[in-house]
Amino acid sequence: MYEMPVCGEIKALACKEGSSGIFTGSIEGMYQGYRFGSTTPDEQHFVLEAQNGTIALTLHQEIVTPLPPRPAEHPFAGGKDPFANMPAGVGHGLLVGVGAGGPPAGVGAGGPPAGMRLGGPPPGMGPGGGPPPGVDMADTDTTRFKKVFYMQVKLQVDPEQSTGIFAGATGEMELATPAYRMAGYLVINAKDGDLRLTFLEKGQLGQLTADLWVDGEQSTGIYKNAKGELTFALTTRLPNYGQGSYQGTIWLEQAPPGA
C-alpha cells in the first residue's frame, strides 16, 4: 500500500447535528460532520438476569445542546470563509460538533450563522460572545461547562419487559461518565474522492481534540479501501467556531495522481 503522511488545518462551525467545515493542506475539501446521539437519542436494550426474575434495562444516550440545526447550504460553499468576518468579541468556549452528528446554520457572506445575532452568541448565552449565565470562563472544569453541551447518559428500567418479582419495576438514573468521548463520523469531499473518517472526541473549555480512523469501505476514489489514523486539536470559540491542525497517516491501495 502507498503511505501518505497528511497534515494541515481545519476550520469548523458547530451545529446541533455535528459540524460543517473545511480541510486544507494534504487533504483539501469541505466536510460535513455527524455526531452519535445528536439528532435522535440512541437506545440499547439489555436484560439483567436475577434470582426470581429479570430486569430489562434501556441505555439512553442523547446530546443536550442549545445550538441551531445544520443549514441547507454549506457555510464554506462558493469560497466563503465565515472566519474572515468573525464577530467582534467572540470568546473561548466549547465547539459542540466536529464529526459525530450534521452541519451549522447557513452562514451568509460577512455574517454569522442563521439565527445568531451579529456580534453575539445565541439567545441565553452571555453578551459579547461570553459564556452562558453562571459559567465562569476561568473555570476549566468541564463538568461545570456541561450545563451548556453534554451527552446525557441514562439507565432506565422497562417495567413491561421485566419479569418475575421485577415485573412492573420502574427506575431511572443518570450516569456520571468522566472518561466519556463522543463518537461520530465526518465525510470530506476531496478532489480525488470522498474520505470518510470515524472519530472519538473530547472537549473542554477552549479546546476540542479527537482521534480519527479512515473508513475505507465507505470512502470513494483514491480513498476506497484505505486505512489510516489521524488526530486533530482545535481551538474553540463561542458561539460555534473551531480552528486548528490535523495530522496522521493514510495508507492507499495505490499512489495518488501526481505522486
**Tens digit of pLDDT per residue, the chain (259 long)?**
999 999 999 999 999 999 999 999 999 999 999 999 998 999 999 999 999 999 999 999 999 888 889 999 999 999 999 999 877 656 555 444 433 333 333 333 333 344 444 444 444 444 444 444 444 444 444 444 455 678 999 999 999 999 999 999 999 999 999 999 999 999 999 999 999 999 999 988 789 999 999 999 999 999 999 999 999 999 998 889 999 999 999 999 989 888 7
CA-to-CA dists, residue 239 to 40, 111, 183, 215, 259, angstroms: 23, 13, 21, 30, 40
Query: Contact 169/57 with Cβ under 8 angstroms?
Result: no
End-to-end CA distance of the chain: 13
Element (H, E) at 144: helix 142-145
Q: Cell numbers of 51, please?
A: 434470582
| pLDDT value, residue 56 | 98
The number of residues making up the chain comes to: 259
| pLDDT value, residue 174 | 96
| pLDDT value, residue 118 | 40
DSSP state of 85: G
| pLDDT value, residue 112 | 39
Which is nearest to 233 in space by CA: 6, 76, 5, 8? Answer: 8
Q: What are phi and psi of 184, to 5 degrees?
A: 175, -165
Query: Contact 171/157 with Cβ under 8 angstroms?
Result: yes
